[in-house]
Chain A
Amino acid sequence: MDRRFPFKVLEHIFSFVDSNEDRNSVSLVCKSWFETERRTRKRVFVGNCYAVSPLKVARRFPKMRSLTLKGKPHFADYNLVPDGWGGYAWPWIEAMAARRPFLEEIRLKRMVVTDECLEKIAASFRDFKTLVLTSCEGFSTDGIAAIASTCRKLRDLELRECIVDDLGGDWLSYFPETSTSLVSIDFSCLDSEVKLSDLERLLSRSPNLKSLKLNRSVTLDVLESLLRRAPQLVELGTGSFSDELDPEEIAKLTKALSELKQLKSLSGLWDLLPEYIPLLYSLCPRLTSLNLSYATVMDLIEDKGLKTVALCCKELRELRVFPSGADLDETDVTLTEQGLVSVSEGCPKLESVLYFCVQFTNAALVSIAKNRPNFRCFRLCVMEPFAPDYRTQQPLDEGFKAIVERCKDLRRLSVSGLLTDKAFEYIGVHAKKLRMLSIAFAGDSDLMLHHLLSGCQSLKKLEIRDCPFGDTALLENAAKLETMRSLWMSSCFVSFGACKQLSQKMPRLNVEVIDEHPPKTRPDSSPVERIYIYRTVAGPRLDTPEFVWTIHKSPEVGVSRLSIR
């Protein structure tokens, strides 16, 4: 008797399975579940664009409506990956355009996207609704204009921290007068001015607009006029917040801001003048996300200012505090660990934090952990490498131990300051749900890596720079690497011989060496400057530039550079 559920029943059941992790598990149960699942998956997520070929993905998921791709390793954000490394969107866009014309959403992170790509998207997907590009580069405002003018059903156009060849603000005028479907628009990374009248008209005819993120060239004096046309906003990224306003303008702006009854997220605030902070008070009680990246908090607001945030923003879930340009050079900084302690005390829903600070203490970390066991993302950057607890001169081991012990749901962690192997033993023992870990200038030996790879069950992405170990731990824990998305190691003690051994041992890993100044010979003992190791079913990639080598699986060959242009 055929005990299998009919396709229709399975299909119906699977329609309730949303998360891709669950769907991945479902597809491993048996062939018929695999088939049913793949025919019903609508949202496809590929965490590493080189892990699988575009063609395979296009074929496997016929009902795909949404595609999310990530390209370069995270440390590319900090100039550790040379230009031209890879992460090209074109092969994916081309494959989807040919096979999946009903695709509606494309989200790309750290990929190279050209105007050609954008024009292809505009031309190929007639129901296209959502374009989100995060940390991408390679395109100009002409490509954006193509999307704006051609995609009649466009709902989301978000350029998050992209490097765009900005040819002017005309692209905004390409939205047809008939388009009323816009739900989110983010052009905060563009430099040039858009025409105010274009923007006003766009807002007036977009009743569904929930998220508006302006660029810096939108001055404070026009903000009120924009907000009046979009009081339903849930997310607002202001433009520049520094122009002199007369009392009447201030009053109008205050009123407009207080009308934003649904606003939950605030960002932008370029050059925020401290005397304008009270204008934002009416928004604070509802805020769940506060991004002070451009408000130069460290320079002007200091601990006391964060204390105010702690008092006013009780709904806050996410906080990002960056150093200002000056503080990247100065040591005379007055934002301390106390600021973060205050916020962790005062904001009961805080679960995600990115915090830059010159120095820290174990006591502060312990307090923070006690106050906020609900952290899911904790990224602390103590800017002084190897900085110990400045009160006790001890490593920050105990502090981070408190964090991983208490915050049982921690998914992402960045550690910094002076750390010994002990810190990583604690992380290995306690951080069972940790998926991503970033480490710099830490640890003493291979034990550190060993603790992590053998302990952190859920680890998917590990990135390490300037740490003193390599070969032994890497080879002992090679199998772990196939359970992870990727491992990045730079300026560590990894030898070429170990890379070869690793690559031979693990057939489904690509072991890539990045070397801008390749040596004449590579004896096994020679150190490797940067390696990027990732699991893949697609084999070595074919688009490596001259400074990237994929270690060949065959021992005699050593390194190969397969490159087909």
Chain B
Amino acid sequence: MENVGVCDEFVNLKATELRLGLPGTEDGGEEERQKVSCCKSNKRAFPETEKDIESTGKTETASPPKAQIVGWPPVRSYRKNNIQTKKNESEGQGMYVKVSMDGAPYLRKIDLTVYKQYPELMKSLENMFKFSVGEYCEREGYKGSEFVPTYEDKDGDWMLVGDVPWEMFVSSCKRLRIMKGSEAKGLGCGV
């Protein structure tokens, strides 16, 4: 059993210079934090809230590839296996993204590959969260409802669901968020 741990470097380290770190990283504790870029000019204007950035509070840069540490995190392997098998059973090759709705105290996960086009997806979301979305039009976004479906794309930008062709959406969508109320109203139309 490979044990990637401090003892690998035992012979070479001087006690006073000791600074532990994960294999592959140089420094143990420091992490840079960068803010998410808010809006790009060619995308629909979107009010990214301060709250959103702060509350994640994590680094947005790619973290160093995580080396496998034996027995970490300390979750019983029995339990890990239990969870993993279920995940593998049900997920297979799907494209799973999290869906949240403002005000709901829980998330769901959906497999985008199950849907063929936007209307199917929207119907499914409406069922899941018991809301209804308005009429979509390319220029004005969603009208007639206080709920607006949005998604975060690969670049970290928040976009309106429906703005890009379906295939492009499926390949670039990282997570979905159904916005509600005043934040939704802030969405302008056009560019």
Contact = CB atoms under 8 A, between A and B. Distances in A.
Contacts of A216: 82
Interface stretch (A4-12, A220-228, A248-256, A295-303): A295-303
A163 B81 CA distance: 11
Contacts of A18: none
Contacts, number: 145
B18 A444 contact: yes
Interface string B64-94: 0000011111111111101110110000000
A3 B18 CA distance: 63
Contact of B77 (A79, A270, A356, A441): A79
B182 interface: no
A492 interface: yes
A274 B73 contact: no
A215 B65 CA distance: 36
Interface in A382-434: 383, 385-388, 390-391, 393, 395, 414, 418
Contact of B58 (A277, A390, A445): A390
A294 B82 contact: yes
Nearest to B28: A386
B60 to A, nearest CB: 10
A48 interface: no
Interface stretch (A172-180, A204-212, A322-330): A322-330
Contact of A385 (B15, B69, B79, B82): B69
Contact of A274 (B21, B77, B84, B106): B106
Given A300-B106, A302-B106, A393-B30, A466 B82 contact: no
B10 A527 contact: yes
Interface stretch (B1-9, B35-43, B162-170): B1-9
A107 interface: no
Contacts of B119: none
A84 B88 CA distance: 29
Nearest to B128: A275
Interface string B9-29: 011000100101110000011
Interface residues of B, number: 46
Given A301-B105, A304-B105, A385-B22, A358 B58 contact: yes
Contacts of A331: 58, 63
A359 B74 CA distance: 15
A78 B72 contact: yes
Contact of B109 (A79, A299, A302): A299
A332 B23 CA distance: 21
Given A323-B73, A356-B73, A393-B29, A490 B106 contact: no
A299 B31 CA distance: 24
Give the dominant DSSP class at A's interface: loop
A80 B6 contact: no
Chain A CB within 10 A, most for which of B6, B69, B108: B6
Interface string A92-112: 000000000000000000000
A435 interface: no
B114 interface: no
Contacts of A274: 104, 106-108
A78 B86 contact: no
A307 interface: yes
Contact of B75 (A304, A322, A336, A516): A322
Interface string A341-378: 00000000000000010110000000000000000000
Interface in B42-72: 55-58, 63, 69-72
Contacts of B87: 325-326
A302 B105 CA distance: 7
A233 interface: no
B106 A301 contact: yes
A246 interface: no
A75 interface: yes
A300 B109 contact: yes
A417 B138 CA distance: 48
A79 B86 contact: no
A163 B30 contact: no
Contacts of B107: 274, 299-302, 334
Contacts of A490: 3, 5
Nearest to A493: B10
Nearest to B83: A325
Given A468-B20, A491-B7, A77 B74 contact: yes
A161 interface: yes
A466 B6 contact: yes
10 contacts: A216-B82, A271-B86, A294-B82, A300-B109, A301-B106, A323-B75, A381-B73, A383-B73, A385-B69, A386-B29
Interface of B: 1, 3, 5-7, 10-11, 15, 18, 20-22, 28-31, 55-58, 63, 69-80, 82-84, 86-87, 98, 104-109, 128
Nearest first, the 5 closest Cβ-Cβ pairs linking A and B are A491-B5, A78-B71, A274-B106, A325-B83, A304-B105
Given A491-B5, A492-B6, 9 more contacts: A163-B78, A294-B82, A300-B106, A302-B105, A304-B105, A336-B55, A386-B28, A492-B7, A493-B6
